[in-house]
């Protein structure tokens, strides 16, 4: 450097790293210089003048005070059925749950703006629903998703993002204990937030295990009633009681959720009601009811053992049930909370103990029937309880 107080200027190019996101804070520079000289005695220079620290600020889209004051407003909703107070999530009804979020900036530019979604343990984040969206969302940890809104997220800008979640059934019990799925949605930035209330939203969905269970019943059609009348002591074989009637009940679960255990109660009319300990036989139960295990279910039926073949009758050799099973026709008996409707059967002639009912058939002839059932207490009944598992 010449001694005539002339200046020497040197220009340096500084590159910012791609990972730099904080453009609100100034960048500090530290400059120092030294003079090359021989190792001889010489005057001591002022060391403070050989070092210089200065800052360079980014040009920001903020107010005149150079302080960015933002106002992020978050609004969100779950794409689920909703009551007046809460959302309803029916287990098994749909594979995914979708969360729709709107974020708008009503203040100055928000730098390093991010959206956070904290969700329940039983949910897994899948992806953004709109693949064309410029917003990127990634997992922060197991239960938090972070979306980048922009740097800066400018004033009056609005972003909509829809996120997809799947239900993790291994963790279902954790949220069923509380009965709710919880979402905490909030947005923030490195700018100063004017209102820390509007940038937060809390959503809850009640977890419901709903199953539409129905039962269909079938009985043998075209049963002939008649033949020789025998006393109980004169009977040896089951077919001497009368024509066999096979009852089949089919239980259906139309979902959306599974039923781990189901109880089926059948009131079985076995005798005509009267004022005596015993009455005339109606439906004589030959054997313990059976559950078809071929459909993957398991279970058992329970009833008083004395109600099964109380006369100890035998099955006649060569007797087959195949032809009778082929004549079964299913009728819907019960669905969900609807009232069960018993099947009406024509019974063989019995001593009248209840009033007859009359109706006219399609041919115009008047017919007389007697309706014997458990509900009206016109029949003596015992209860059969079948428990189906899995």
Structure confidence by residue, pLDDT tens digits, 310-347: 999 998 887 766 555 555 555 555 554 333 333 333 34
Q: Flag residues of the chain having pLDDT under 70.
A: 1-5, 18-25, 35-50, 54-61, 169-178, 220-227, 294-297, 320-354
What pLDDT is stored for residue 203 in this prediction? 95
Predicted confidence (pLDDT) per residue in 240-273, tens digit: 888 888 888 888 888 778 888 889 999 999 998 8
115: exposed, middle or buried (Cβ count in 10 Å: 0-12, 13-18, 19+): buried
Contacts of 134 (CB under 8 A, 6+ apart): none
Alpha-carbon span 216 to 270, nearest angstrom: 21
pTM of the predicted model as reported, rounded to 2 decimal places: 0.59
Q: Strands of 282-389 (E only): list them.
A: 298-302, 328-335, 357-360, 366-369, 379-389
Alpha-helical regions (H) of the chain: 172-178, 322-326
Contacts of 99 (CB under 8 A, 6+ apart): 76, 77, 78, 79, 117, 162, 163, 165, 183, 185, 203
Q: Give yes or no for a contact between 390 and 251, defined as CB atoms under 8 angstroms apart.
A: no
Alpha-carbon span 72 to 192, nearest angstrom: 10
What pLDDT is stored for residue 349 in this prediction? 42
Cα–Cα nearest to 30, from 65, 67, 55: 55
What pLDDT is stored for residue 358 in this prediction? 80
Q: Give yes or no for a contact between 65 and 108, defined as CB atoms under 8 angstroms apart.
A: no
SS3 at position 232: helix
What pLDDT is stored for residue 341 in this prediction? 33
Partnered with residue 127 across adjacent β-strands are 164
Alpha-carbon span 240 to 315, nearest angstrom: 10
- All structural domains of the chain, each given as residue ranges with its CATH number in brackets, are 69-208 (2.60.40.1510), 211-389 (no CATH)
Joined tokens for residue 30: 């530290």
């Amino acid at each position: 450097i010449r001694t005539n107080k002339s200046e020497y200027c040197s220009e340096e190019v500084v590159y910012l790293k791609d990972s730099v996101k904080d453009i609100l804070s100034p960048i500090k520079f530290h400059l120092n210089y030294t003079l090359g000289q021989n190792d001889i005695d010489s005057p001591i220079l002022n060391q403070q003048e050989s070092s210089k620290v200065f800052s360079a600020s980014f040009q920001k889209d903020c107010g005149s005070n150079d302080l960015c004051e933002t106002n992020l407003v978050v609004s969100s909703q779950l794409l689920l059925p909703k009551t007046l107070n809460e959302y309803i999530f029916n287990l098994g009804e749909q594979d995914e749950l979708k969360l729709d979020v709107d974020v708008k900036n009503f203040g100055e530019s928000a730098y390093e703006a991010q959206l956070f979604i904290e969700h329940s343990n039983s949910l897994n984040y899948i992806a953004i629903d709109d693949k064309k969206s410029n917003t990127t969302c990634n997992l922060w940890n197991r239960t938090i998703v972070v979306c980048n809104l922009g740097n800066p997220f400018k004033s009056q800008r609005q972003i909509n993002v829809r996120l997809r979640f799947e239900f993790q059934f291994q963790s279902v019990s954790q949220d069923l204990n509380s009965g709710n799925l919880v979402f905490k949605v909030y947005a923030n930035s490195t700018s100063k937030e004017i209102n820390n209330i509007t940038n937060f939203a809390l959503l809850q969905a009640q977890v419901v295990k709903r199953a539409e269970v129905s039962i269909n019943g079938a009985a043998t059609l075209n049963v002939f009633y008649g033949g020789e009348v025998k006393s109980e002591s004169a009977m040896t074989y089951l077919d001497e009681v009368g024509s066999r009637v096979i009852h089949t009940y089919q239980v259906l679960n139309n979902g959306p959720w599974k039923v781990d255990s189901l109880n089926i109660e059948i009131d079985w009319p076995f005798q005509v009601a009267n004022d005596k300990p015993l009455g005339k036989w109606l439906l004589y139960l030959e054997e313990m009811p059976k559950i078809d295990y071929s459909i993957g279910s398991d279970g058992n039926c329970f009833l008083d053992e004395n109600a099964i073949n109380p006369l100890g009758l035998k099955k006649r050799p060569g007797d087959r049930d195949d032809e009778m099973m082929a004549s079964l026709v299913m009728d819907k008996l019960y669905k969900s909370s609807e009232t069960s409707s018993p099947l009406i059967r024509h019974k063989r002639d019995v001593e009248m103990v209840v009033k007859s009912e009359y109706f006219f058939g399609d041919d115009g002839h008047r017919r007389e029937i007697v309706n014997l059932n458990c509900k009206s207490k016109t029949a003596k009944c015992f209860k059969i309880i079948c428990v189906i598992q899995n």
